[in-house]
Amino acid sequence: MSSIHNTPKVISNTPFESLRFQFSWRNYQEKFLNHFETHLNDNHLHVVAPPGSGKTILGLEMLRRVQKKTIVFAPTLTIRNQWKDRLLTFFTEDNAFADFSFDIKKPAALTFVTYQSLHAFYKSFDTKEAFLAFFKTYGIEAIVLDEAHHLKNEWWKCLFALKDARKLTTIALTATPPIDSTDQELSRYFELCGPIDEEIAVPDLVKEGDLCPHQDFIHFSEPNQEEIESIASYRKKIADFVTSLQQNEPFIALLKSHRFLTNTDEVLEEIYKDPSCFSSILIFLRSVGEIIDPYLFEVLGFERNKKVNFPNLTYEWTEKLLQFILFTDREELLAHEEFLQKLENRLRKYGMINQKRVSVFGNRKLYTTLANSPSKLESIVDIIQHEYRSLDTKLRAVILTDYIRKEFLSYSHIDDVNQLGVLPIFQHVRTSLKRMNSIGVLSGTMVIIPKDCLLILEELNPNKKYSHTSLLCDDNYVSISITTKVKSDLVSDITKLFELGHINVLVGTKSLLGEGWDSPAINSLVLASFVGSYVSSNQMRGRAIRSQEGNPTKVSNIWHLACIDPTVDDGGSDIEMLERRFHAFVGVSNTEPVYISTGIGRLALPASFDREIIQNINEQTFALATNRKNIKTKWETAIAKGNSLATEIQYFTDNPRIEAKQKKIYHRDLVKYISAEASIGLAIVFSEIYLQSAFKMAQFGFLYFAYSVLSVIGIAVGFKIFNRIRAHAQSRFIHKNMNTIGEAVLLTLDRLGYLTTDVSEIEIRSEQFVGDTVCNIYGATRVESSLFVKAMEEILNPIENPRYLIEKSSIFGSTSDWQNYVTVPTIFGAKKKDATVFLAYWKMYVSQGKLHFTRTVEGRKILIKARLFHVTNVLKKSTKKEVIWK
């Protein structure tokens, strides 16, 4: 097809009818294909399939069944070519299929192109209409989005235009949804790809032998004294800054003269667009002892002449205030520009501003201090040494990191190696483990191998001559020159050296090894990358867990590195980053009874860290990692306990490592305050019995003064008891009613037509553990389960900006500020009649309540108050989702 025709070009079914899968489907693949037609009812199919599941082959089978003229979009040329190779190898006899194309300008029955090609093609048209007319002319009816998490910003526009205008059948395939992207990016991703319809489960692949048994391990290290001092100094600097801000008269004067306070009525609409900015001003002024006009509290939804228990000034509120003053509202504060510029300069000097975002908690430099800590070099050496002792010459370890750092090529002293990178890691391992001389480097611009491997390279590829030079720091190793002519062959040959065992440890960059490069021989992977997101780390992790033909006993260890921040109890930013990533890693637990789930909780990490704890954890970890047979047994045991992955929501488990503390916090505080109250009562009695006699001659004023002081203290402690009981009762309300809240959500979904499964076949289950409640549903489709969990999340999480709220009065009636506010989930909040349906089921199953529309002035006041007093805001808790094999 060399020209554009004026009429749509329709293809016959003949090309697709000639395609047949030439082998037998795996059980999990056949199970997926059985549901294929159901999922495609809405013209969308979004499949998550881990590496090794045959994602491309399944995609081709779907296209064979759809029988529509299709364009497949791939992120790279390598992956594009894989589609053609899989088509000819797995669906034809003797490559007998020719109706495919690599040229988007000349589409065939199946056209394989990259996203880059589509974008370049889009820019070649003068108008969007002309671009769309091309696809109409050629009768394109379906598209495949392969690994759509790769999409760059400028590529979205043409894809949305093509999808929306042509109403195309859309099949999205990915191993790694971009779950750690921004809300906007994630929303755009799901708008293009649709909700996840099906996920092929890792346990199924392990069961079938397509993935090997594996386990994630974390090796902990401590920063050196210089790094600790740097972190402590930064934290002190921030604390001093916040204190100085509270003493800064010009800043206080700026806030007092802000239009939100001086012309409140005129800017109410502006205030209600983001009331947290207004709240942050009041909270700050209250913290410095300023008297607040009672009317301003009315604006926030509080009743006149009532005491307001306003939140304390925290780093979160300080950050919100500074963001508003320095950036959001800057143009309205031109009279204070000189002062604001000085304040901004000061924040930038402290590293508290990054790309117009204020961060009071810590800057990027503080994070990279730990993420790039030289202590991780010692961790890598310990890991490789341990794995070599365990596996000896069978070790096939890969270490992936972010940068090459060529300046370390000539370094010969270990003390000079003080950064993470390909060459620093190579040098550190080489000099620390001198008896191991089988280390190599493989990256896009640097290849290093042992000198002994040169002869083997010549045997592997006699037609290629690689020029090389010996390393100045160690003539046992050579650096091979890389040219465009030899690059592809060189990567293949180094991979063969690795698989044959001539190289036991390969160090490389995640860009080369993470996605495109693959070797089923890997049995130990060290992720020394701190720049990459979850997507790239999961792609790298996928390299190690593939099964290896001829090696049925393969078990892989995946090693993550964490440098502990000794200035905080929870371990710091490295642990926080790993927690986020582990939410999407499916793996087996280290605990008994064994189970399979996502989340870092399955590793049973401690609640806090110190030097002794770190040493003990690392020793225990090495013991677990050595027993690879036990890892395989755990997978077999856990797989036998279930048959599918179920999404569950956990309430009040903000951090998996502090679950054991959550139940104690209420009891501890209550015991503390009640004990204090009892002591005060005894003190008063003691005063009455003994002091009155002892001071019989003293003036009565002394006793009255003592009684007054004790009474005030008693009232204050009593108020704390009331607050703790109140917070505890609110949290218990959620724990106790998790099932009934779920019933209200599920029945509303059914009533509004979101369920295709008969609601009588769906079961809600909730279980209570120490400090948290877990809820999930059984018998629903993946889409239905996702809708249910998302609605539950919105109800249980801190209130944001819903269109409708349900207000439930407390047991103390309308005279108390203590109210219970519930978000009406977004899926029910678009229309009042839908929100009313949810309210009806809420009343039926949970409690009485009143519906409020938050897009009016009065509704905004209620929303502000709800956000301030929602139980999860009081207790600093929220929810999390995990996927568990059941």
Global pTM value: 0.77
pLDDT at 8: 39
* Residue 709 lies inside a defined structural domain of this protein: no
When pLDDT is averaged across residues 267-280 and rounded to a whole number, the result is: 85
**Do residues 281 and 357 share a domain?**
yes
When pLDDT is averaged across residues 100-128 and rounded to a whole number, the result is: 94
Q: Which CATH number covers residue 196? A: 3.40.50.300
When pLDDT is averaged across residues 342-349 and rounded to a whole number, the result is: 92
Q: How confident is the model at residue 710 (pLDDT cuts 50, 70, 90)?
A: low
Q: State yes or no: pLDDT of 381 exceeds 50.
A: yes
pLDDT at 4: 38
Whole-number Å distance between alpha carbons of 557 and 559: 6
Which amino acid is present at 189? Y
How many other CB atoms are found less than 10 A from the CB of residue 550?
7
Of 267 and 811, the structure prediction assigns the larger pLDDT to 267
* Residue 715 lies inside a defined structural domain of this protein: no
**Do residues 144 and 285 share a domain?**
no
Of 786 and 335, the structure prediction assigns the larger pLDDT to 335
Last residue of a domain, one of 331, 348, 369: 369
Whole-number Å distance between alpha carbons of 353 and 360: 8
pLDDT at 708: 56
- Answer for the pair 805, 829: CB distance below 8 angstroms, yes or no: no
**Do residues 234 and 263 share a domain?**
yes
**Residue 200 per-residue DSSP state:** -
* Residue 222 lies inside a defined structural domain of this protein: no
pLDDT at 713: 56
**Do residues 380 and 355 share a domain?**
no
Of 874 and 773, the structure prediction assigns the larger pLDDT to 773
* Residue 251 lies inside a defined structural domain of this protein: yes
* Residue 445 lies inside a defined structural domain of this protein: yes
**Do residues 407 and 512 share a domain?**
yes
Q: How does pLDDT run across 818-849, given as a tens digit for each residue?
A: 457 899 999 999 899 999 999 999 999 998 99
Q: How confident is the model at residue 749 (pLDDT cuts 50, 70, 90)?
A: very high
Whole-number Å distance between alpha carbons of 415 and 435: 19
- Answer for the pair 101, 108: CB distance below 8 angstroms, yes or no: yes
pLDDT at 165: 76
Q: State yes or no: pLDDT of 793 exceeds 50.
A: yes
Q: How does pLDDT run across 429-451, given as a tens digit for each residue?
A: 999 998 888 999 998 889 999 99
Last residue of a domain, one of 164, 183, 200: 200
Mean pLDDT of all residues belonging to the chain: 82
When pLDDT is averaged across residues 70-76 and rounded to a whole number, the result is: 92
Our CA angle for 33, 38, 42, nearest 5°, is 125
**Residue 579 per-residue DSSP state:** H
**Do residues 325 and 420 share a domain?**
no
Split into its structural domains, the chain has a count of 4
**Do residues 525 and 610 share a domain?**
yes
Whole-number Å distance between alpha carbons of 463 and 749: 66
3-state secondary structure (DSSP) of residue 574:
helix
Q: State yes or no: pLDDT of 237 exceeds 70.
A: yes
pLDDT at 703: 53
**Do residues 238 and 193 share a domain?**
no
Q: State yes or no: pLDDT of 682 exceeds 80.
A: no
**Do residues 316 and 387 share a domain?**
no
Whole-number Å distance between alpha carbons of 228 and 738: 44
Domain range holding 135?
14-200
Percent of the chain at pLDDT > 90 equals: 43
Q: How does pLDDT run across 537-588, given as a tens digit for each residue?
A: 677 788 889 999 899 999 999 999 999 988 777 888 888 888 888 887 899 9
What are the backbone dihedrals phi and psi of residue 198, each rounded to the nearest 5 degrees, phi first?
A: -150, 140
**Do residues 490 and 507 share a domain?**
yes
* Residue 8 lies inside a defined structural domain of this protein: no
Least confident of 105-119, 289-303, 646-660: 646-660
Least confident of 187-196, 478-487, 602-611, 726-735: 726-735
Whole-number Å distance between alpha carbons of 758 and 777: 13
Q: State yes or no: pLDDT of 871 exceeds 70.
A: no
* Residue 307 lies inside a defined structural domain of this protein: yes
- Answer for the pair 282, 295: CB distance below 8 angstroms, yes or no: no
Q: How confident is the model at residue 864 (pLDDT cuts 50, 70, 90)?
A: confident
**Do residues 43 and 170 share a domain?**
yes
pLDDT at 655: 42
Last residue of a domain, one of 165, 200, 235: 200
* Residue 650 lies inside a defined structural domain of this protein: no
**Do residues 365 and 381 share a domain?**
no
Residues 6+ apart with CB under 8 A from 257: none
Q: State yes or no: pLDDT of 740 exceeds 60.
A: yes
pLDDT at 477: 95
Q: How confident is the model at residue 308 (pLDDT cuts 50, 70, 90)?
A: confident
